[in-house]
């Protein structure tokens, strides 16, 4: 696999982010997409060895579109600056927790896991589980392997400013009950993306996150 080709294409795309350029470089895009597809095939094969929930999925099921779907009137760019995938039960758009990989040059690539923005009912269930079974939740997020791969921990961005409805603001777990995202990620420098063992390193991070992902999905299914 030639991941350098993927990063090189994305660098050019960031500089020429409009349809006319893409039309002229469609062959380059197809080649970069083929390389990213091959990477996803390898990652799916490895992930399926320890995560049965994603068995049967193909790269097409998990790869996100390069074309932006949510452009605002002030967004001049037609395309995302990265190639990405969400490996989740049911595919990239399913409502479950899962595993993520993003390639973007300039050190913006990352490996991630969890549920970015749970639906209201899912979020209520997660909070309830933390409230009733805090020790299990903390054991997962404090596990040494989990912390080694995701040292920043859970993403506190966009957390509530106060206690969610029905919870005491003095609850010992209020820091976690206020979260709206149950997602971890680690940035990956370009040099690491280009290493021959990059897929193995991504899978190692996902394996460390698997108990956390399973914890979330079991809660959200109930």
The side-by-side arrangement of strands in the sheet containing 83-87 is: 83-87, 98-103, 109-115, 182-188
Total length of the chain: 222
Q: pTM of the entire structure? A: 0.94
- 149-162 residue pLDDT tens: 999 999 888 899 99
* pLDDT at residue 73 is higher than 60: no
Instruction: Indicate if the pLDDT at residue 69 is higher than 80.
Output: no
Can you tell me the distance from the alpha carbon of 110 to that of 101, in angstroms, rounded to the nearest whole number? 6
Answer left, alpha or beta for residue 68, where phi above 0 means left and psi between -120 and 50 means alpha. Answer: beta
pLDDT in tens, 168-207: 999 999 999 999 999 999 999 999 999 999 999 999 999 9
Cα dist. 91→63, 75, 88, 98 in Å? 9, 28, 5, 9
Confidence of residue 163 (pLDDT cuts 50, 70, 90): very high
pLDDT, position 155: 84
């Amino acid at each position: 696999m030639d991941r350098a080709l993927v990063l090189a294409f994305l660098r050019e795309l960031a500089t020429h982010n409009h349809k006319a350029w893409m039309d002229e470089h469609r062959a380059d895009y197809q080649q970069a997409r083929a390389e990213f597809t091959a990477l996803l095939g390898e990652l799916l094969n490895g992930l399926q060895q320890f995560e049965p929930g994603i068995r049967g999925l193909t790269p097409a099921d998990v790869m996100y579109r390069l074309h932006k779907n949510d452009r605002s009137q002030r967004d001049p760019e037609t395309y995302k600056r990265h190639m990405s995938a969400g490996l989740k039960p049911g595919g990239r758009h399913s409502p479950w927790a899962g595993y993520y990989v993003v390639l973007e040059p300039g050190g913006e690539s990352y490996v991630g896991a969890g549920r970015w923005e749970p639906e209201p009912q899912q979020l209520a269930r997660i909070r309830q589980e933390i409230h009733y079974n805090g020790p299990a939740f903390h054991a997962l997020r404090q596990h040494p392997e989990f912390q080694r791969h995701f040292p920043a921990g859970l993403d506190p961005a966009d957390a509530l400013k106060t206690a969610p409805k029905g919870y005491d603001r003095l609850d010992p777990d209020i820091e976690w009950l206020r979260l709206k995202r149950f997602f971890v990620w680690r940035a990956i420098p370009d040099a690491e993306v280009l290493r021959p063992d990059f897929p193995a390193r991504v899978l190692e991070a996902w394996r460390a996150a698997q108990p956390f992902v399973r914890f979330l999905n079991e809660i959200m299914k109930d």
